[in-house]
Amino acid sequence: MDYRKEAEENLTGLRRDPQNWMLFHQSMTQALEAGGLSLADIGTNEQELKELRVEWCKSYARRYLTRLREGEMMFVPYFQYAVREAGLSFADFGATEEEIAFFERKYRT
């Protein structure tokens, strides 16, 4: 098996579609480990992966906030997690602390 090629293909997937972070990242990591390769071997580094993960978190936070505003309270913890993982604030997504606290109260009842 060509582990370098597999890792590179998954990196390309991450770059094109950070919304599928989990799938591509896991597959890339497995190929790197199996092939004894480093991130540099496939033309990336930890900083780029961190930036791609932040993009993934942002896309999910936007999606979860939309769902919350549509009344689907089960997404409160997911939204909070995505915002926290992206290193951002609720305001970065056009939400207030009060709005999220309201959703959180509804979620718990």
pLDDT at position 15, please?
94
- pTM to 2 decimals? 0.81
Distances 106 to 57, 61, 78, 79, 98 between C-alpha atoms, Å: 23, 19, 15, 14, 12
pLDDT at position 50, please?
92
H-only helix segments in the chain:
3-16, 21-35, 46-69, 76-86, 97-108
pLDDT at position 1, please?
82
Mean pLDDT in residue range 11-32: 92
Domain residue limits, the chain: 1-44, 56-109
Q: Each residue of 51-102: pLDDT tens digit?
A: 999 999 999 999 999 999 999 999 999 999 999 999 999 999 999 999 999 9
